[in-house]
Amino acid sequence: MTQASETRLAKFLQVAESLKPKLRTRLDKPVGVVEVEQCLQASMGWKARVVSDDSVSKTLVGKEQVIFDFGGHRTGHLSFDIEAIKHGIEPADAPCRLKIVFGEILNDVCESFENYSAWISPSWLPDEIINVDDFPSRVHIPRRHAFRYVKFCVMSTSSRYGIRIKDPVATALTSAPWQDPAPLSFEHFQGDLTADQKTMLRKIDQVSITTLRDCMQTVFEDGPRRDRRLWIGDLRLQALCAYDAFQDFDLAKRCLYLFAGLPFNDQGLLCACVYEKPVPLAGGNSLVDYSMLYAVTLLDYVKASGDMETGRDLFDTAARQFRFYASNFDEELRYDLKSEGVDGLRLVHFVDWQPKLIKDNAEHAIMIYCLKAILELSQLLQVNPPRFDIGGKIDQPLESIIESLVHAHRMHYYHAQRGVFVSGIERQISWAGNAWAVLAGVPETVEQSQEALRVAYEDPESIVGMTPYLHHYLCDAFIEAGLQDLALRHILKYWGSMIEAGAETFFEAWNPDEPRSSPYGDLHANSFCHAWSCTPSLLLRRLGCA
């Protein structure tokens, strides 16, 4: 890397640091104490019963436990008083060992973590074991957690005393305003909605905003429970929602500069994620579709904020990403999902966590979608669009590449007899392939877009989405194709089913037919407040529900 490049990257990081927000705080007290029991009728298998609305204190003897309900989700810290309840005249003669479990959902505080089987480290599990030596004490848990419920379990004391937990307080943290946007009024909605549907849509909107707020820290975190990192795919969706809900542009700008200042390699490939602490560091991987989507994220930011200077500053970073993947296209401009790129670069394609998904169709369409963003960005900023070598042809203009890739996509992936876009030699139909084809503008007519989406959505053999990330792009495609009725129906069905399952923030992965499913192999590895799940607030406003 040249000295000039190092200086440029250092400047990007300085800009990012200057935009680091000061977190807002809010003090929350529990609304009461609950007991839990298994419930076959509950989607997640548990229900809570309020046993006391006295949230001030709870006395525990022996190995008893208590669950405090804070009445809603937050990201933050816990503090509480603890005092000894002596059985005689002698003082407490041994430490108290406490296990504290933080619950985003009831399952966290109801189920043991002992048989945890995910491939993600168990150190992410939301529990703490502490020793308290002196009584009375005010205890502050230094580690930040995401939670509604807090369970205290006495692991050991001595026979001479019990303990009392008093005045538990949660200090909630966010960089977003605490005030919510105005509730949905449906004033501009074209269509009929029942009173129950309006009530559910308002709940979905509120939960979306809470999800977004609790993930807005000093960066757009993917989830405050686990990872706590900045990922390009999550950033794009969070930023769009934050522009609309909070008119917040600076956090997205900070995140864009962090990615630009911390490339994955010396050639400028973007990493998929950034670690913020102890100092900003590039993540150890790069995802093909995420690095391409950086250009779309930058375009979104420039259009929303009007900040042309940042657009010009970061344009080259966005524009150069396609150079790393142009060699994936053969002479017929068919996209090859090979795992190795130029100079032995390891290529990882995401699209969705769905393990059955064949991704060539979707990735080809994502390339078109992102190249169109680069072209639009160059026109908006009045800079020259890049040129690339592709398909055996040298130094091709961007407009020509886009036109050729659209033509190739229609030729290789469109199944005219079925009216749908397909993937792989298996001719697989999927939500992902058709949503991204429509968003990329591949279909020749609106009617063709609508037919492809309807076929993909209704075919029982179609590969569906596993994460709200892909469900967002499906709804985005419905709206783009003029299928507002399907978009609204899907929001009610998918995000509404999370609320019916007890969600107060939206989950990282969700299958209403298999509520305990996890891309990691264990439900407790899942994040239950996740950035890419917050987009109904945006979609509903696009549908005229505001």
pLDDT tens by residue, 285-328: 999 999 999 999 999 999 999 999 999 999 999 999 999 999 99
Q: Which residues contact 66 (CB under 8 A, 6 or more apart)?
A: 33, 58, 60, 151, 152, 165
Q: Domain residues for 96?
A: 26-172
Give residue 469's pLDDT: 98
Q: Residue 513 has which token pair?
A: 């037919």
State the chain's mean pLDDT as an integer: 95
Please check the confidence at residue 56 and state whether its pLDDT lies above 90: no
Give residue 377's pLDDT: 98
pLDDT tier at 159, thresholds 50, 70, 90:
confident
pLDDT tier at 53, thresholds 50, 70, 90:
confident
Per the domain annotation, does 155 fall within a domain?
Answer: yes
* d(C-alpha 193, C-alpha 191), whole Å: 7
Taking residue 344's Cβ as centre, other Cβ atoms within 10 Å add up to 6
Per the domain annotation, does 448 fall within a domain?
Answer: no
The proportion of the chain whose per-residue pLDDT surpasses 70, expressed as a percent, equals 99
**Dmax (CA) of the chain:** 90
**CA angle, residues 248, 251, 255, in degrees to nearest 5:** 145
Give residue 339's pLDDT: 81
Q: Please compute the mean of the pLDDT values over residues 60-84 and round it to a whole number.
A: 94
Do residues 473 and 491 make contact, with C-beta atoms less than 8 angstroms apart? no
* d(C-alpha 53, C-alpha 101), whole Å: 20
Per the domain annotation, does 78 fall within a domain?
Answer: yes
Give residue 343's pLDDT: 73
Closest CA to 536 of 502, 496, 504, 500: 496
pTM: predicted TM-score of the whole model, two decimal places: 0.96
CB-facing half-sphere around the CA of 51: CA atoms within 13 A: 11
3-state SS class at 171: strand
Per the domain annotation, does 359 fall within a domain?
Answer: no
Q: Please compute the mean of the pLDDT values over residues 104-129 and round it to a whole number.
A: 97
Identity of residue 483: L
| Per-residue pLDDT reduced to its tens digit, 481-496 | 999 999 999 999 999 9
Instruction: Give the containing element (helix H, strand E) for 156.
Output: strand 145-156
Instruction: Give the containing element (helix H, strand E) for 282.
Output: strand 281-282
Taking residue 288's Cβ as centre, other Cβ atoms within 10 Å add up to 26
Give residue 55's pLDDT: 64
Per the domain annotation, does 145 fall within a domain?
Answer: yes
Split into its structural domains, the chain has a count of 1
| Per-residue pLDDT reduced to its tens digit, 193-235 | 999 999 999 999 999 999 999 999 999 999 999 999 999 999 9
Per the domain annotation, does 213 fall within a domain?
Answer: no
Taking residue 376's Cβ as centre, other Cβ atoms within 10 Å add up to 16
**CA angle, residues 399, 293, 436, in degrees to nearest 5:** 75
Across 506-523, b (16+ Cβ under 10 Å) vs e yields bbbbbbeeebeebbbebb
* d(C-alpha 540, C-alpha 487), whole Å: 9
Please check the confidence at residue 62 and state whether its pLDDT lies above 90: no
Q: Please compute the mean of the pLDDT values over residues 17-44 and round it to a whole number.
A: 96
* d(C-alpha 388, C-alpha 476), whole Å: 29
Give residue 444's pLDDT: 98
* d(C-alpha 539, C-alpha 479), whole Å: 8
Give residue 89's pLDDT: 67
Give residue 130's pLDDT: 97
| Per-residue pLDDT reduced to its tens digit, 356-400 | 999 999 999 999 999 999 999 999 999 999 999 999 999 999 999
Q: Residue written as tokens 């060539």?
A: 360
* d(C-alpha 196, C-alpha 192), whole Å: 12
Per the domain annotation, does 352 fall within a domain?
Answer: no
* d(C-alpha 323, C-alpha 401), whole Å: 12
Per the domain annotation, does 116 fall within a domain?
Answer: yes
Please check the confidence at residue 403 and state whether its pLDDT lies above 70: yes
Phi/psi for 77 (5° steps) reads -115, 155
Output the domain CATH number for residue 31.
2.60.120.260
| Per-residue pLDDT reduced to its tens digit, 17-26 | 999 999 999 9
* DSSP state string for 370-385: HHHHHHHHHHHHT-PP
